[in-house]
Amino acid sequence: MSATCSRLAPSPTGALHLGNARTFLWNWALARTRGWQLLMRIEDFDGPRIQPGTGMAALETLQWLGLDWDGEPMVQSSDRGPYLDAMERLAREGLVYPCSLSRRDIASAASAPHEDEHETCFSASLRPQDAGESQPFQSTPGVHWRFLVSPGPELVVDELSGKHEFRPSEACGDFVAWTVRDEPAYQLAVVVDDLRQEVSDVIRGNDLLSSAARQQLIYQTLGATPPRWWHLPLVRGTDGRRLAKRHGDTRLDSYRKLGTPSDRIVGLLAYWCGLLPERQSLQAQDVLTLFDMSTLPKDDIVFTPEDDSWLRG
């Protein structure tokens, strides 16, 4: 494996939309122009949100756009061993503990603000008395395992946006490492995956920038060095919110069914990356000749009605 390695990691919770595609295209172009290895991973630990067949559909859609990767795709759920090994180590070292509190219990005791609308900060006052003590890891129905977060700042250095200081103990508190569904939570799974695939550079949307702080804590406890982080500005709707169903159907497959050529989509994505002065059709391979990371806009991109009209052509 080459010394520098990145990965594309679609989650099979729904069809790829234009925002996903823009991040994947930039990631692909960065890797290919720098001679990095680029791996594919299907991140399918997300319980009831997983939609059967969407993982393989995402791969086919990315190939339709002209993107490729090295080797066979890795599917998270195909091997639980590495995640179990990590949890056993963390439990043995007293860095995780079981917790059966409900969201309502946690919310009623919360003294810190929400990190986002989906998560309430887990107060240190809710920890069991034996938190921090060595214990065997055992998955139990109805019980989470939480990662013990120490107070203090965590510095994240991003290749695109510079230095950011986070305080996970105040923003999220002890976060879930293993879920009640008997599977690793995202924060643990992505660290284990990147370690076993020897990923050196992680490229993703800046909505996950704060997650880098949590993941660095896990890297440190596992005695490993975190990757280099590259967090891209997001694609948003005209209301300023992250691109989603509320902004209409922005799925790649939907445009494809309408007859939109792949090079029209690639051209719009390249335009959003600052590689073109205006919207125009472009093959993915041609993106490599134009690629310049310095042209990437520093602010989030807005998906406009004009963009949609141009794709529909």
Task: Give the CA distances from residue 267 to residues 173, 252, 280, in Å, rounded to whole numbers and listed in that order.
Answer: 42, 13, 5
48 Cβ partners below 8 Å, 6+ apart? none
pLDDT band at 235 (very low <50, low <70, confident <90, very high): very high
For the cut 70, the answer to whether the pLDDT of residue 89 exceeds it is yes
pTM of the model: 0.91
List the structure tokens of 225: 């060095």
Can you tell me the mean pLDDT for 283-300?
A: 96
Can you tell me the mean pLDDT for 191-195?
A: 97
Closest CA to 110 of 97, 125, 129, 96: 125
Whose tokens are 């043995």? That residue is 92
Can you tell me the mean pLDDT for 26-53?
A: 85
SS (H, E, C) 225-288: CCCEEEEECCEECCCCCECCHHHCCCEHHHHHHCCCCHHHHHHHHHHHCCCCCCCCCCCHHHHH
Interval 194-229: pLDDT, tens: 999 999 999 999 999 999 999 999 999 999 999 999
Average pLDDT along the chain: 90
